[in-house]
Amino acid sequence: MTLSQQILWGSMFLGLCFLVEIILLTLCTVMINKLIERWENKGVILATAGPIATALAFIVLTHTIQVWIWAIVWVMYDVLPDWNTALYFSLVSFTTLGYGDIVLGEDLRIFGTFAAVTGLLAFGLSTAYMVALMTRVFQERFMS
């Protein structure tokens, strides 16, 4: 794969992962807004823990889907030999852990780094989402 192809395809799969994250975090926000009244009627613990637990579940789902997207790419394009290796490499890259026991050939190294960039940005967005949510929840519960 040429450098421009690696950048193009890497950007496309990065964009797909962002689309997944945006859609699921939006659905999470809609769900939390719909459930907040029910939680408030059941006490302060559920009203506080409900939104946080819901957001964490959505974030874990979002990141899992993104790791699977990259694993599918590795298998679909015959970059890695099997699902176990593809999932392992995808997760290690996504979390930027990078053990180095599995490496891509020179013609795919730039493309492979997009999985790490996806993880960095996804964790950043998820962290910002959680901070905003928890700020809102704590202000509503303890500052009013």
Looking at residue 78, what DSSP letter applies?
T
- pLDDT, one tens digit per residue, over 40-76 is 888 888 988 999 999 999 999 999 999 999 999 999 9
Which of left, alpha, beta for 116 (phi over 0: left; psi -120 to 50: alpha)? alpha
The mean pLDDT value of the chain amounts to: 93
SS3 label, residue 42: coil
Does the domain spanning 3-142 belong to CATH 1.10.510? no
Give pLDDT, residue 144.
61
Domains of the chain, residue spans = 3-142
